[in-house]
Structure 1
Amino acid sequence: MRGKLVPQDPDDEPASELLKKNNLKRSIEEPHELPSSWDWITLGSGVTFYNGRAYKKKELLSDDKLTPVLRVGNLFTNSSWYYSDLSLDENKYIDNGDLIYAWSASFGPKIWNGGHVIYHYHIWKLEYDNNVIDTNFLYYFLLDKRNVVGETDLHGSTMKHITKTNMEHLPFPLPPLEEQSRIAAKIAQLFALLRKVESSTQQYAKLQTLLKSKVLDLAMRGKLVKQDPHDEPASVLLEKIKAEKEQLIKEKKIKKSKPLPPITDKEKPFDIPDSWEWVRLGEVAESIRYGYTASAQATGNAKLLRITDIQNNNVNWNMVPLCNISDMKLKDLSLHKKDILIARTGGTIGKNYFVKQIVEPTVFASYLIRVRNINKKVSNFIQYVLDAPIYWNFISAKKSGTGQPNVNAAKLENFIFPIPPLEEQNRIVDKIINLIDLFNVGKSFMK
């Protein structure tokens, strides 16, 4: 729309000649500079906007042998049609190739290709001289909402709409007719390329998700890296964690919890190496706690980390609000590095966030569950356990509640997963990070 997409051809008849021949009105407004062969006109001097018909309910029929009635919803999301037996003026019908514009609730142009139909009042039919304005060029102009909604007033409180008067007074950049066609063809070519790239990117994103899931599944089965017979077996690691937990209870740093049931063979979803062990999350966790119910505020004595703050696994600490919390609760609910947060409800149910860095003091909101492990070294491995298929299978099976689904702390305590020797955990984590980095390089290349 600025004359910079395709080169100008000095042999093209300039727009100034189109203005003279067709009595077009030059626009007083000139939003930006144009090539010398272009000109600004008011859109209404070259285009006539016809309104469709406002129908009474009794006039909208269900007999599909009659003439279809095109409503705004049919252009966007609604596949349900009404029909009419009325005989109307010619300008109340549209046919293939007609350019139309939805001007209420949902905005936008469309080159119609759905056969002979009547169009509703909230749609305009555009008529113009094809020897002056190229249909596709006009379509692309109207497609950019900055040219339309951005330059007109939006009226109405319940249903937004654009007035015909404002549309008619829009400044419209008019190139020579031949250049209009070249511009439209170039835009169509670029849009096709963008759709192809977008499709490839989406396909790669799906492949990336599948590859990551496969890597994590292999990692949980002991098939991602080799076992080393010199590694201290996981059974010894679990005994150490048990002893650490008992010491913390003795020192009254944590409360004693109810014993968890032994893991039965029936619960184990697959075989694992001999040096590994099956364990419940509650056995290795120092605590599994719900967050703090508080209102986000501009002032307070602690940051309040919410589900919305951890959506992309990177917290923008400047955007995290504050809250007021007592010293006792602050000590109990503060976040530390290597804590793991789990969303327990809503659309992000089950999603986890590994706390790599922290702005102190920070507490976590009530829709989150904090998992704090006794041995911080195992947290690196467990964060990937909580991304693996074994965990998501558990989440799918353990959603509770008849209203909004949620995962509670008690069920998380009983979640079973395979744990390798600590040395092997480190090798697995390094391998996963290397492979994910490789996937991300591929993703960047696709962009």
Structure 2
Amino acid sequence: MKTNSLDFDAQALREKILDLAMRGKLVKQDPNDEPASVLLEKIKAEKAELIKEKKIKKSKLLPEITDDEKPFDIPDSWEWVRLGEIGNYIQRGRSPKYDKESLDHPIISQKCVQWNSINIEDAKHITEDFFKKLEPYRFIQKNDILWNSTGTGTVGRLNIVKDNYNHVPVDSHVTLMRMNQFIDSDYIYYFLRSPQIQKNLGDYLTGTTKQKELGLTNILKINIPLPPLSEQSRIAAKIAELFALLHKVESSTQQYAKLQTLLKSKVLDLAMRGKLVEQDPIDEPASVLLEKIKAEKEQLIKEKKIKRSKPLPPITDEEKPFEIPDSWEWVRLGEVLTILRGGSPRPIKKYLTDSPNSINWIKIGDSTVNSKYIDHAAEKIIPEGLDKTREVHKGDFLLSNSMSFGRPYILKIDGAVHDGWLILSDYDKLFDKNYLYYLLSSNFVNFQFKSLATGSTVKNLNRDRVAHTIALVPPLLEQKRIIKKINYLLTKLNIKLY
């Protein structure tokens, strides 16, 4: 996550903490700790006893770890070990038989295992017969690690059980890992979350692109840098402490970002009400400017250079949410701007080209959240495509009319736009470009866009609805003073200008 005041990437810091921890560089080694080599002998002896008592099954012998498999050096008191050697029970759940009526027996699926929680509320439920056939060891216990083992987008996600659950199993898409008593489960959990595993997850996956799978064989063979037991606990505790601190910083940063957004909205709100700068009686009123523009338009219609547009309804007093200075005017955007919708030549592949004489094909994906401008286009089309789309020019405004609808951008390039954009042009006689940008970015206009947007799942703005949006026109000279004041205040408040 990044903010205006602090280049703070919490996820990168978490990964760095985990990386240092797994290399033995997060906490100091204690020479009094019993070495991991002795610990491994204890684990072998205990597992042999458990097998003898038929409490766990004997597992297949795992191959020795070669030097090529060791990605980095570890402290002398540590040992490289395979995950299967230190787990008492590592197995996927069984394929369930679901019960759509009874809610007596929940079963954990990939959906339940999230990075931040194990959410039993999302669990499906199994039949009584299926439940009764489950062996006792299949029910999750405190400190078990649950690892999603199938599904694009979910495979590799894991969490550790920290609550007591009453006879809850996992399904066949989740691997349950129960460590030996001489292993700190929190340490293993953090290792499996670390970049060593998560950034190299593809090395452990099998299957097709559509259905990647984390197989049990590969899980058992995972190499783990194992510290002495006491050091495992110190490392896990240190990671938890640092993660908690990061969470506090992250929360504070998010709160600060919200405050910045609120302050920016307040500045723009004052600006749009005529309360940010003083009015100057020398300024030519907006009404005079509007009359000049109206006269010019009538002349162009008379000369048949443009067509007379359908008149928009007058703005009623009920539509005006607040008082404005006497030198300002209320207008509908469609009265003072040319508003058009983009168009897409189809099939688009027929018109795409890499030719140097081609035309910029400007799509929603060419815009960025943190920019006021669009200055490049990833794709280009041949000139013949212009007949089936809309041509745009430097200085034109684009409004996204779907998804993040209503967000304004100013073009720094010429080109053509597809039908995901609305084009606003011919504004320069009435609006300063930067004032218009702030006007379109203000809550006053944005709230209208949201109320006018249509569609159920994906909201859309159409041309007519934007044309009906009411806006404020100060004198041109006052617009420039407003821009200067906005920029000054946002800079002082350490808030991005756009």
Say whether residues 1:421 and 2:475 are aligned partners: yes
Equivalent position of 1:362 in the other structure: 415
Matching residue within 459, 462, 475 for 1:408: 462
Say whether residues 1:138 and 2:212 are aligned partners: no
Say whether residues 1:73 and 2:111 are aligned partners: yes
Deviation of 1:271 after TM superposition, in Å, equals 0.9
Say whether residues 1:239 and 2:291 are aligned partners: yes
Percent of residue pairs identical: 41
TM-score, normalization by structure 1: 0.87
How is 1:334-413 mapped onto 2 (pairs within 5 angstroms)?
334-337=392-395, 339-345=396-402, 347-355=403-411, 357-358=412-413, 361-375=414-428, 377-400=431-454, 404-413=458-467
How is 1:185-200 mapped onto 2 (pairs within 5 angstroms)?
185-200=237-252
Deviation of 1:372 after TM superposition, in Å, equals 0.8
TM-score, normalization by structure 2: 0.78
Equivalent position of 2:159 in the other structure: 110
Equivalent position of 1:268 in the other structure: 320
Secondary structure (helix, strand or coil) at the match of 2:30 reads coil
Equivalent position of 1:82 in the other structure: 125
Say whether residues 1:34 and 2:74 are aligned partners: yes
Distance 1:324 1:396 in 2: 35
Deviations 1:2-26 (A, max 9, x none): 1121222222222233334444975
Residues 100 and 111 in structure 1, CA contact (< 8 A), matched pair in contact too: yes
Residues 144 and 179 in structure 2, CA contact (< 8 A), matched pair in contact too: no
Deviations 1:231-253 (A, max 9, x none): 22111222233344445556766
Deviations 1:83-137 (A, max 9, x none): 5451532211222333332322223332221412233233333233232x21110
Equivalent position of 1:45 in the other structure: 85
Runs of 5+ consecutive residues of structure 1 not aligned to the other structure: none
Q: Aligned AA for 1:10?
A: P
Say whether residues 1:284 and 2:336 are aligned partners: yes
Secondary structure (helix, strand or coil) at the match of 1:110 reads strand
Q: Aligned AA for 2:392?
A: S
Distance 1:386 1:441 in 2: 18
Say whether residues 1:224 and 2:302 are aligned partners: no
Deviation of 1:319 after TM superposition, in Å, equals 5.2
Residues 309 and 315 in structure 1, CA contact (< 8 A), matched pair in contact too: no
Distance 2:323 2:228 in 1: 73
Distance 2:141 2:335 in 1: 70
Residues 25 and 45 in structure 1, CA contact (< 8 A), matched pair in contact too: no
Distance 1:12 1:264 in 2: 81
Deviation of 1:419 after TM superposition, in Å, equals 1.0
Say whether residues 1:7 and 2:65 are aligned partners: no
Q: Aligned AA for 2:149?
A: W
Change (3 A) 1:147 1:270: same
Residues 361 and 377 in structure 2, CA contact (< 8 A), matched pair in contact too: no
Q: Aligned AA for 1:280?
A: R
Deviation of 1:56 after TM superposition, in Å, equals 2.5
Distance 1:102 1:247 in 2: 70
Distance 1:62 1:123 in 2: 24
Secondary structure (helix, strand or coil) at the match of 2:432 reads helix
Residues 277 and 481 in structure 2, CA contact (< 8 A), matched pair in contact too: yes
Change (3 A) 1:332 1:344: closer
Say whether residues 1:434 and 2:488 are aligned partners: yes
Change (3 A) 1:221 1:30: same
Moved more, 178-187 or 10-19: 10-19
Distance 2:278 2:185 in 1: 64
Distance 1:268 1:13 in 2: 77
Q: Aligned AA for 2:180?
A: D
Deviation of 1:179 after TM superposition, in Å, equals 1.6
Distance 2:164 2:150 in 1: 21
Residues 113 and 157 in structure 2, CA contact (< 8 A), matched pair in contact too: no
Secondary structure (helix, strand or coil) at the match of 1:366 reads coil
Q: Aligned AA for 2:134?
A: L
Distance 2:203 2:476 in 1: 63
Runs of 5+ consecutive residues of structure 2 not aligned to the other structure: 1-21, 45-61
Change (3 A) 1:326 1:114: same
